[in-house]
Each structure stands twice: as structure tokens, then as C-alpha cells.
């Protein structure tokens, strides 16, 4: 996992150590161990979204003078069929992703 994440987050070939709970990168094993001592004593961060209908729930852009004019805008979208897949039993002692369907592209 560290090799995959390090190639995505840095342009250098320095080794990085990652917390698998937060996917934060650290330059040394000692700094990762220090983080894990702190990390294991706290709950994971929960994202909270504003309630619908409130002023904070509406996104808007007010600095139009900072935007760039472009001659063409392209939007792309893939449509997929989802096919259920069988997967192995997850291990609750380690982080995992529950895969339950496969996306098969049908059009774009």
C-alpha cells in the first residue's frame, strides 16, 4: 500500500510510510509510530453535512472575476451495468473494502 500511495503523493523516490486508517503519509517509521500511538486513541473523523434547506447547504460562487473564459467545455460520462460478485469474508482486524458489484461499461 505504501508504494502505491507514495507514487501518487510525491514526485521523489523517497520512501513514505502510511497510516492505513487515515492514509496520511510520513517520512519515517518513527513518525508513523508516533502518529499511530495518537491515532489509536481517537475515533475516526465523521463528515457532517449541513441540513437541507439551510443557507449553508447551498453552494455558490461569487468571485466571477477570478474565473477564466475558455472556448470549449467538455463533459464525459460513462454508463455501466452493475453485476453482483461473490467476495471473501472480510477480516475485521484489518482495514478492508467490501466489494459487492462489478461495473461493466456500456456506453460513453
For 71-106, write each residue's pLDDT tens digit: 888 888 888 888 888 776 777 777 677 778 888 888
- For CA atoms 8, 9, 11, 17, give the dihedral sign: negative
83 occurs within a structural domain = yes
SS3 of residue 102 by DSSP: strand
* 34 touches 27 (CB < 8 A): no
| pTM reported for the whole predicted model | 0.36
Domain that includes residue 24, residue range: 2-44+73-107
Q: Is residue 103 domain-resident?
A: yes
Number of domains, the chain: 1
Q: How confident is the model at residue 51 (pLDDT cuts 50, 70, 90)?
A: confident
Q: Which helix (H) or strand (E) holds 72?
A: none
Neighbouring C-beta atoms of residue 19, cutoff 10 Å = 14
Q: Regarding predicted confidence, which is higher, 95 or 19?
A: 19
**Averaged pLDDT of the chain:** 77
Give 103's contacts (C-beta < 8 A, 6+ positions apart).
80, 81, 82
Amino acid at each position: 500500500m505504501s508504494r502505491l500511495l507514495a507514487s501518487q503523493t510525491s514526485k521523489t523516490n523517497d520512501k513514505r510510510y502510511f497510516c492505513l486508517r487515515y492514509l496520511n503519509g510520513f517520512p519515517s517509521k518513527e513518525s508513523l509510530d508516533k502518529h499511530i500511538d495518537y491515532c489509536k486513541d481517537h475515533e475516526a473523523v465523521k463528515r457532517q453535512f449541513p441540513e437541507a434547506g439551510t443557507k449553508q447547504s447551498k453552494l455558490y460562487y461569487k468571485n466571477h472575476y477570478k474565473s477564466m473564459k475558455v472556448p470549449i467545455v467538455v463533459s464525459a460520462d460513462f454508463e455501466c451495468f452493475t453485476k453482483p460478485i461473490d467476495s471473501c469474508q472480510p477480516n475485521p482486524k484489518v482495514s478492508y473494502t467490501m466489494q459487492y458489484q462489478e461495473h461493466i461499461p456500456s456506453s460513453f
